[in-house]
Structure 1
Amino acid sequence: MRRLLLAGLVALAVLPAAAAAASGAAPLDLETIMANPDWMGHAVENPYWSVDGRSLYYSLKRDGSTVHDLYRVDPVSGQGTRLDAAAMAQAEGPAIYDHTRQHAAYILHGDVFLVDVASGRRVQVTRSPQPESAPQFSADGRALQFRQANNWYSYDLASGVTSPAAVLKFADDPQDKKPDALERQQLDLFKELRENKADKDAEHANEEALAAADSTRAPQPFYLGDKSQLVDTELSPNGRWMLVITQPAHRDDGKAPGVIHYVTDSGYTETQDARTYVGRNDPAPQSLVLLDLVAHKQYDLSTDNLPGIKDDPLKAIREKTVATLEKAGKSDEAKALKAPDVRPVTLYSMDAETASVAWNDDGSDIALELLSIDNKDRWIATIDFDKHALVSQHRLHDDAWINWTYNDVGWLKDNRTLWFLSEQTGYSQLYVKPLSGAVKALTAGKFEVSQPLLSNDGKWFYVRTNQVAPYSYDVYRVPSNGGALTRVTQYGGMDQFVLSPNDSQLGVLHSSAYVLPQLAVQGVQGGTPRDLTNTMKPAFTAHAWIAPKIVEVPSSHGAGVIYAKYYGPANETDALSSRPAVIFVHGAGYLQDVSESATYYQHEQLFNNLLVQQGYVVLDMDYRASQGYGRDWRTAIYRQMGHPELEDLLDGKAWLVKNHGVDAKRVGIYGGSYGGFMTEMALLRAPGEFAAGAAQRPPADWVTYNHSYTGDILNDPQLDPEAYKTSSPIEYADNLRDPLLINHGLIDDNVLASDSVRLYERFVELHKKNFWISLYPLERHEFEHPDSWYDEYRRIDELFETWVKPGTQH
């Protein structure tokens, strides 16, 4: 993944007895709230339409289990049903259609199904222990293509025969082997050996001729050599081409740190390998091979001619580091930092398995998104199939790093026009580009466009945007040939949407502060939505939780406005003239927590309620680096993580003091993951500003985090050691003056517990006071066990009660 994983689910907190009584609900104690979060309700997940468009499916977590059940709901009546095992056998998966809309296909329980749309007749195409995926119809509609891992198959609709699209062998072609001197001598000496070789050559030539002339035979293998290994394959809808993505074989992925499990089923201590540290091995460079499946030929696709591929965006940093190393007599290390003549690339990955590759509907062209390994350039390229060469269609350069999101790409229905998202103006916007024409913006403005979806008739794009305000998201639509961007939904807290097969309705997931995502249906031109689900539990909704107020905190550092959620008492006029406060810091870095949607941090939000009822006020800020505010907000932390964010948090503290009667000496801070990192940076880089801090699973030294997140923001540690020293809490350990509580899961394989242990040892050696560490033997990065949530937040609550609330001097 390209982003630091979010802090896990943590302990809840509650309204005290008086407030609970006022709301008509029984008071809740801490242990009740720390019980399994099923008591709150469940989020509706993964909605999709049935093949005929008459039903919507969605999944819902089962109470007391990790199992998710499948539901089907009638969008007209709103009547829904949980599908039992028997009904599941007749269920559908998310469907794709051929260009005539006569046939549909989907994956269900890992197998491929084909449906005649008019009659509803269903044919099971596969029944295998290995899961299939990615069904697509051939351009002529006569075949259904699908993949099993990286092997593609084609199912002929008329004959019912399934055949492999290609056979790949990562070995050298034995027919290409040239005899050495000894073998040539043997052939010269012995007639029998010459005749045997002639027979083998004739048999091979005959097999090739028969395969070329007879489509009923399995295809001949492609030999791709033993120096590369397979990463991904993509089959063209016309069946003519296959793109193969490879990386060097037998590559050393670098030494992996170990995660030690102390509490195990076996009773013995066990060790698990985690991810490699940043800079210990950069991502493997990838190569592209184009296979002509008809002519049975293969062509290497060079990236050497991509614009800017031979530039060195890190030249200034490289020269400074090399000079420092050479001055220190470390010439070997300096030589290792030499810039490559041509920068290596990978295909931008939309997820952990599939590269960002999009064929047009007729298979006549392909769009590839390539990313430089130094994270400074993204190219969208097509292929000249006559010249077997890449053609650059768009280059996006960023002096900091290419974003992890907003990189969608695809084709209009004319098969000759690309569409894509780009941050080239500083905000993610939607663009189109004819292959031989100029780029045209379909949207423009200081807001973010995401989730682009082209209608089935090709006339409209539906997108998610925050055009009204950075914290307010809804579905909008824009004509695919250009025109006005118009609002479709009116939620403010819209999370996801799916378009019906006939382009007439949207299934919409929407949420709010204390309502997890729910499903509704609405017409594509707007109108009144119809709610289809209500999965929240009465015991939860009965409580009068505090509605967070979205506020604007002015920046004293030229950043403009910092959006935040403020939690305070209902009657501010009764507030004390000097009160304690807590700042909550969200995780992930690049995450938006200030919005009208449900927060990822439902449990922390309820803990904020408890803090207010105990006399605190709470501020939750979208500091610089957060998502939703454009490219400059995101990249402000480049080479200086923890610095702009701290400026914003201190501005938040000042705002609380000025506007809400907060005592500047009585402000606490807490957060998890990146929020834990910022808690440590706040105490260590601004000693005395915060009365106490609680850091959950915090990265204390970015040198020990992974490449895909850290390398983007701080470059490689060997190349840019200054950025790591500037950005790591452990480098500021000597500044600890204020109480710090660290909570960490011992089997966290994302942010390793060794980060916190190493920082703790630094405090020990520096003779620091008032620091504590609490380790949880059965917790990973995201806490799962209610007992751990209870213990973690009991400690945080006690920390604030001891050091923040009474204004203890220390």
Structure 2
Amino acid sequence: MKRFLTIFLIPVCSVTYAQKLETLSVEKIMRDPKWIGVAPSNVRWSDNSEKLYFNWNPGNTDRDEVFAITPANIKPAKISINEQRTFTTGNGEWNKNHTQKLYEKNGDLFLLDIKSDKTRQLTNTAERESNPTFIGDQSKVVFSRAENLYSLNLNGGELSQITNFTHSASATPVVQAGGRQGGRGRGAQSQAAGNEQERWLKAEQLELFDIIKVRDKDRKLDSIEVNQFAQKRLKEIGVGDQSINNVTLSPDGRFVTYNLVKIAIDAKRVNVPNYVTASGFTEDIPNRTKVGMPENSYESYVFDTQRDTVYRISVSAIPGIKDVPAYFKDYPKELEQRTKRNEDRKVVIRTAQWSGDGRYAVVMINAQDNKDRWIMKLDAATGKLSLLHREHNDAWVGGPGAYELAWLDNTHIYFESEDSGYAHIYVVNVTNGSKKQITSGKWEVQTLQLSNDKKNFYFTANIEHPGITHFYRVPVSGGKPVKLTSMKGINTVTLSPDENWLAIIYSYTNKPEELYIQANKPGAKAVQVTTSLTEEFKSYPWRDPDMITFKNRYGSDVYAHLYLPAKADLAKPAVVFVHGAGYLQNVTYGWSDHYFREYMFNNMLADNGYTVLDIDYSGSAGYGRDWRTAIYRHMGGKDLSDQVDGVKMLVEKYGVNPKHIGMYGGSYGGFMTLMAMFTEPDVFAAGAAIRSVTDWAHYNHGYTSDILNEPYTDGKAYRASSPIYFANGLKGNLLMLHGMIDQNVNYQDIIRLTQRLIELHKENWELASYPVEDHGFVQPSSWTDEYKRIYKLFEANLKK
């Protein structure tokens, strides 16, 4: 028996040992992330606030499952498939009293009554209904079906079609501002039917023959009788080959506003070849366009159902509509031509929003060059606009809350703006245009919602420190914000519909996300609901990197994470990690969802004698408008000099060897690594560029045009910002790594740079290609291969 027990205990001991993580290696940290533990996600409350649902996988099985708790019982319980089919959470629209909720599910519409907890199905059709909203006295529901608007009476059940958009070739006559009719419709064509000879013959018949006179009189009487009994036909609104979006109805049912979109069909798209396929053949993946390709064009209209008239919303009077972007001063000839043309800039008018009483409508308008955002009052009866707020930026308008706009009451709207340099809350009186700033300071409002009683704003902000977020409440009239959460780190809050409870996804720098629940009161204790981490992950003493700041050459504070080795290698090497996405914040007191693998790799580097620096460089999120736009027209400018200034700080303050500095990063971080290796070759001895942009003229339009404008209008910005133009500067050792089915930064990008390096006779570079990987790698084998190569690069070049 003793022998049997000894044999039996051996595998048990080996399992216990395997769960303890004593040293880090690439193979260990780049495994399937489930080895860390699966954090809760997709947090949502039941509409009656009685249950909190979330996805979770505490057993590290193949799939996440749905769990639920109640405020009274916070022990997570799995939810059955049957319950998942019946509960409703998330999207939808509440009525004014917050007692009923409209929502769409699987293409049909439903109405939930909170008091009775009963759901009524409003539609059951093969067609898809969407975007339901209450209207008027809330006895009717308006929704979209096949591009058209319909209304449904909740009491009697009467269904009425409101619009009749048709994709016919003939256009509907459009009345311009001022009453002039433009276009030529079917009515105009029929009135002109028949030539002069035909009309003369008809008149002669009426003159000569009594029978013709009698028949003509009968036909006229019949026509009058038919018209008296006939139901009025719904006006056809011909839109040709254009798409329709943002269709809304005024609360009184009179005005329909909508956009027509002319799709840029001549915009050439990229195909991404996929080499490893089930068929054995190379298959093309249809992909995006490149920056500068033709854009869709937009026009906005009003359909006055009372006058049975369609007219265009006039944009010619928008303040600054003819302004030429400031960067054209670098192109005098083009500036002169643009000024002479005196053209209106292209704009997009977003969905019209009506006050509850239907007296006022407001719209947000964005210039397609993104230099301006206007909030304007719409006079629906005339299609004319009047200014409430204009936000201009010579770079580009953006920041958190850039598209936030809603009604506070029947005469006030609220929105976010970076006018002060940081994203803050503003309230405007639409009757007189008076404006009030509700929050202020050198911090950002990152999320925003209005309380049910419309007396308070709830918002997330980094007031205490750029890297700490808390949940706050402030009266809509202004005042000092009240902090509702208390845990130092990143707090992402989902407020219960009755506003009594906070569901908090909380993390700290070296502690991944967990779910907490807290009463909606200042100072209330947050109680932990989930425990997700594995024993293996918890067994390693993960660093809480130092949060430091240093001054860059322009005198600004740069925030950084610093990983210091317990014992530095004799070569005193350092590695700079560069986060991707450009506009992203990585230096926080929270766990990095985007770069947790890199966090673990940085720990491993520090374990092996490296000093590691991770900074929120110019262009990163969290630090206001001027930091956000500091890279305008020159990516690889201030953002790169911040990295170089950080290296200088490491040399002077922490004693690293200036000859033993490396850099690595992915996406924007890969681009930065290329720029560093090509333009600062005496600072960086080795670099690993992952899925990197090599030429911004080959990236997408939405991101690139904001920062660099367009290649054919601002070629100087593209040449200054694209690594491929600086490849001749390479001195150190460069490793490039790229997925071959990357649909974000196409594999073609790295191949073009490869050819450039070949033609420049450069030898100290290497390309590792990953045939089955998109932009975000998935396979643990790919992650492992990638980071083994990066570690080998640093070991070979930074520890000489």
Give TM-score scaled by structure 2 length.
0.88
- 1:77 partner SS: coil
Identity across aligned pairs (percent)? 35
- Give a deviation string over 1:166-224, Cα, whole Å, max 9, x none: 232233357424148773469635799x989989995999499724xxxxxxx724414
**Does 2:360 align with 1:365?**
yes
Q: Relative to 1, partners in 2 of residues 1:241 and 1:57: Cα closer, same or farther, differing over 3 Å?
A: farther
Q: Confirm or deny that 1:225 pairs with 2:239.
A: yes
* Partner AA of 1:419 in structure 2: Y
Partner Cα separation in structure 1 for residue 781 and residue 94 of structure 2: 48
C-alpha separation in 1, matches of 2:319 and 2:218:
49
Taking the TM superposition and a 5 Å limit, the aligned residue runs for 1:674-689 are 674-689=668-683
Contact 2:239 2:260 in 1 (8 A): no
Q: Of residues 466, 477, 495 in structure 1, which corresponds to 2:462? A: 466
Tell me the equivalent position of 1:259.
272
Listed as ranges, the matches of 1:651-690 within 5 Å are 651-690=645-684
Go from structure 1 to structure 2 and tell me whether the alpha carbon gap of 1:364 and 1:209 turns closer, same or farther (over 3 Å shift). Answer: farther
Superposed CA deviations along residues 310-341 of structure 1, whole A, max 9, x for unmatched, are 22124743643639xxxxxxxxxx97997551
1:547 corresponding residue in structure 2: 544
> 1:144–1:154: 8 Å Cα contact kept in structure 2?
yes
Number of the residue aligned with 2:635: 641
> For the Cα contact (< 8 Å) 1:140–1:238, is it kept in 2?
no
Q: Does structure 2 retain, via aligned residues, the 8 Å contact 1:449–1:463? A: yes
Q: Does the 8 Å contact 1:93/1:106 carry over to 2?
A: no
Which deviates more, 508-517 or 369-378? 508-517
Q: Secondary structure at the match of 2:402?
A: coil
Q: Is the aligned partner of 1:86 residue 2:86?
A: no
SS of the aligned residue for 1:528 comes to coil
Q: Does 1:269 align with 2:285?
A: no
The corresponding residue for 1:733 is: 727
1:197-216 to 2 correspondences below 5 Å: 206=227, 210-211=231-232
Cα contact 1:576–1:661 (8 A) shared by 2: no
Of 173, 190, 194, the residue aligned with 1:183 is: 194
Counterpart of 1:491 in structure 2: which amino acid? Answer: M
Q: Could you say if the C-alpha distance between residues 771 and 357 of structure 1 is closer, same or farther in structure 2, counting changes exceeding 3 Å?
A: farther
| Counterpart Cα distance in 2 of 1:601 and 1:159 | 55
Do the aligned partners of residues 307 and 547 (structure 1) sit closer, same or farther apart at CA in structure 2, a change above 3 Å counting?
same
1:621-649 deviation digits (Å, cap 9, x = unpaired): 00000011111111111111111011100
Cα 1:551/1:28, change in 2 over 3 Å: closer
Separation of aligned partners in 2, 1:222 and 1:62: 57
What's 1:770 paired with? 764
Alignment-derived partner of residue 259 in structure 2: 245
Does the residue aligned with 2:623 lie in a helix, a strand or coil? Answer: coil
Instruction: Identify the residue that residue 590 of structure 1 maps to in structure 2.
Output: 583
Going from structure 1 to structure 2, the CA distance change for 1:771 and 1:575 (only over 3 Å counts) comes to closer
- The answer as to whether partners of 1:167 and 1:220 remain within 8 angstroms in 2 is yes
Tell me the secondary structure at the aligned position of residue 458 of structure 1: coil
**Contact preservation (8 Å) 1:257, 1:275:** yes
Measured after TM superposition, the shift of residue 654 of structure 1 is: 1.4
Contact in 2 for aligned 1:208/1:220 (Cα 8 Å): no
Could you report, residue by residue, the CA deviation over 1:485-507 in whole angstroms, capped at 9, with x for unpaired residues?
22111234334323223333322
Query: 1: distance between equivalents of 2:251 and 2:601?
Result: 52
Gap change, CA 1:518 and 1:108, over 3 Å in 2: farther
Deviation at 1:481, TM superposition (A): 1.4
8 Å CA contact 1:409–1:418 kept in 2: the answer is no
Q: Give 1:375's aligned residue.
A: 370
| Residue 17 of structure 1: aligned partner | none
Check if 1:288 corresponds to 2:290: no
Q: Is contact 1:505-1:522 (8 Å) kept?
A: yes
Structure 1 residues 56-96: Cα deviation after superposition (integer angstroms, max 9, x where no partner): 22334798889654332212211333323212122112253
Q: Name which of structure 1's ranges 692-701 and 785-794 shifts more when overlaid on structure 2.
A: 785-794
**2:773 alignment partner AA:** E
Q: Distance in 2 between matches of 1:627 and 1:196?
A: 77
Aligned length: 756
> Given the alignment, which residue of 298, 309, 324 partners 2:321?
309
Residue segments in structure 2 that go unaligned for 5+ positions in a row? 1-15, 173-184, 206-211
Unmatched tracts of structure 1, length 5 or more: 1-19, 212-218, 324-333, 348-354
User: Quick one: distance in 2 between partners of 1:68 and 1:134?
Assistant: 29
Give SS of 2:601's match. Answer: helix
Counterpart contact for 1:582–1:619, Cα < 8 Å? yes
| Partner SS state of residue 261, structure 2 | strand
1:741 and 1:772 in contact (8 A); partners too:
yes
How far apart are residue 773 of structure 1 and its match? 0.8
* Structure 1 residues 761 and 129: alpha-carbon distance in aligned structure 2, compared to 1, 3 A threshold: farther
Contact 2:416 2:423 in 1 (8 A): yes
Once residues 59 and 659 of structure 1 are traced to their aligned partners in structure 2, the CA distance between those partners, rounded to angstroms, is 45
Return the offset for 1:671: 0.3
**Which whole-Å CA distance do the structure 2 matches of 1:786 and 1:616 have between them?**
25
Q: Distance in 2 between matches of 1:632 and 1:758?
A: 33
Greater relative contact order, per chain length (Cα 8 Å cut-off, separation 6+): 1
SS in 2 for 1:625: coil
Relative to 1, partners in 2 of residues 1:509 and 1:198: Cα closer, same or farther, differing over 3 Å?
A: farther
Q: What's the RMSD between the two structures over aligned residues? A: 3.1
Conserved 8 A contact 2:39-2:512? yes
Q: 413, 427, 433: which one pairs with 2:428?
A: 433
Deviations 1:100-132 (CA, angstroms, capped at 9, x unpaired)? 233223344554321222111211223456654
Larger radius of gyration: 2
What amino acid maps onto 2:539 in structure 1?
Answer: A
Query: CA separation in 1, counterparts of 2:725 and 2:689?
Result: 17
